Amino acid sequence: MAIISSAFAAEGEQTTHETVGAGEAHHEGVFPPFQTENFAPQIFWLVVIFGLLYVLMSRIALPRVGGIIENRGAKIASDLGAAREMQSKAQAAAAANDENLRRRRDEAQGIGREAQHKIAAETARQRALAESQAAEKIRAADERIASAKTQALANVEQIAVDAAASIVEKLTGAKIDQAALAKHATSSN
């Protein structure tokens, strides 16, 4: 600093002369920050301006900025709380839904099983019924066949008796008692 000020001392003096000429009070060669007559006005305005600034900062600016930051913190905390609550609600809802789904599935399976059993039972009953009806029909048919057979056999005997009687009549001209013949035929049978 000293070197610089001495280096520019010559020019500095010239400037000082000029400013003195312009009506400003200066000590010869005194470095401006050390000119004592400059102290009072600077301190006066510094006190006024810094004092006002201090009042503005401490009364308005700092409480406001502090409030903003606090508000934001509170808002973030409350939002996070709400989000956590929502999340737990959603999880509870999902669990309830899963439980519901499981129960419904069990129910549906139960209904399915029951229906299957019912159908199986119905089928078995119907089959049994159909089988018994069929067996009944078969038995009746068998009976009818047997009776038809005996009938047919009886008819065959009657035809034979008739044929024998007519043969005997044709050959001998004698009438044969058909009853006797039938009796004979059956006994010779």
* Chain contacts with another protein (rule: CB under 8 A): 1, 4-5, 8, 11-12, 14-15, 19, 24, 26, 31-35, 37-47, 49-50, 52-54, 56-58, 60-62, 64-69, 71-72, 75
Shortest distance, CB of residue 92 to another protein, whole angstroms?
30
Closer CB to another protein, residue 80 or residue 130?
80
Separation CA 166–CA 34 (nearest Å)? 181
Nearest Cα to 166, choosing from 176, 180, 152, 156?
Answer: 176
Closer CB to another protein, residue 70 or residue 131?
70
Cβ contact 181:164 at 8 Å? yes
Shortest distance, CB of residue 77 to another protein, whole angstroms?
13
Closer CB to another protein, residue 45 or residue 110?
45
Shortest distance, CB of residue 87 to another protein, whole angstroms?
22
Shortest distance, CB of residue 9 to another protein, whole angstroms?
9
Closer CB to another protein, residue 44 or residue 138?
44
Separation CA 157–CA 150 (nearest Å)? 10
Using left for φ > 0, alpha for ψ between -120 and 50, and beta otherwise, residue 85 falls in: alpha
Separation CA 126–CA 138 (nearest Å)? 18
Closer CB to another protein, residue 19 or residue 91?
19
CA distances in angstroms from 37 to 24, 30, 32, 41, 51, listed in the order given: 11, 11, 10, 8, 22
Query: Could you tell me how far CA 148 lies from the centroid of its own chain?
Result: 73
Shortest distance, CB of residue 54 to another protein, whole angstroms?
5
